[in-house]
Amino acid sequence: MFLEVFNIRNKKDDLQINNEITDKEVRLLDVDGSMLGVVPLAEAMKLAGDKDLDLVKISPNAVPPVCKIADYNKTVYEKAKKDKEAKKAQKVVELKEIRLSVNIEEHDLEVKVKNAHKFLSEGNKVKASLRFRGRQQKYTNDGNDVMSRFAEALSEIGSVEKAPLQEGRTMFMIIGPKKHD
């Protein structure tokens, strides 16, 4: 009774064990991972009880669901360890922004290209934005020229994923790192 009130394991993504499993029959795996076949739930529970272990539903979406005879705590530990390794292995790609202007000087553009080169070599994407101020709105062609020079300077390491696009007073494009084969 006490354990039912304070059931800590009652999470949505948690594995079902023993009496929580309500399916009529399950595909059963033994402790060592060998397939025991499709068996009725009562028989699977009896086999798990005979070995003083839990019946853990490891694949609830399969038809019939896959259950394994295992120690529940060990299964949860191994699952958490595997999830942690998978999270460590994934690379998060960030979007770094570099602001340009319509009348940017050549040296300033080179500095911006150098910074963008560093971001792309780290595997991040670069968003080059150019804001038109006041009467510069008339000179969108100049903005396109600046954007194309910027993209051309980065053509070795990056490729344009989204061509220059103007929204209101701002023009932007996105450059991603080239895939290394």
Can you give the CATH number for the domain in which 80 is found? 3.10.20.80
Token readout for 75 is 């299964």
Among residues 104, 103, 129, 105, the alpha carbon closest in space to that of 116 is found at: 129
pLDDT tens per residue, the chain (181 residues)?
344 444 444 444 567 788 888 888 889 888 888 888 888 888 888 888 888 888 888 888 888 888 888 888 888 888 889 888 888 877 777 888 999 988 889 999 999 999 999 998 888 899 999 988 888 888 888 888 999 999 999 989 888 888 888 888 899 999 998 876 4
Gap between the Cα atoms of 109 and 97, Å rounded: 14
Element (H, E) at 12: none
**Same domain membership, residue 54 and residue 7:** yes
**Same domain membership, residue 106 and residue 165:** yes
Gap between the Cα atoms of 75 and 67, Å rounded: 12
What integer pLDDT is reported at residue 7 of this predicted model?
A: 47
**Same domain membership, residue 99 and residue 81:** no
Gap between the Cα atoms of 176 and 157, Å rounded: 9
Gap between the Cα atoms of 73 and 84, Å rounded: 17
Gap between the Cα atoms of 88 and 84, Å rounded: 6
Can you give the CATH number for the domain in which 150 is found? 3.30.110.10
Look up the domain containing 75 and give its range.
2-86
What integer pLDDT is reported at residue 117 of this predicted model?
A: 92
Q: Answer with the one of 86, 109, 133 that is the final residue of a domain.
A: 86
**Number of domains comprising the chain:** 2
Instruction: Please indicate, yes or no, whether the overall pTM of this predicted structure exceeds 0.95.
Output: no
Gap between the Cα atoms of 20 and 56, Å rounded: 9
Q: Answer with the one of 34, 54, 86 that is the final residue of a domain.
A: 86
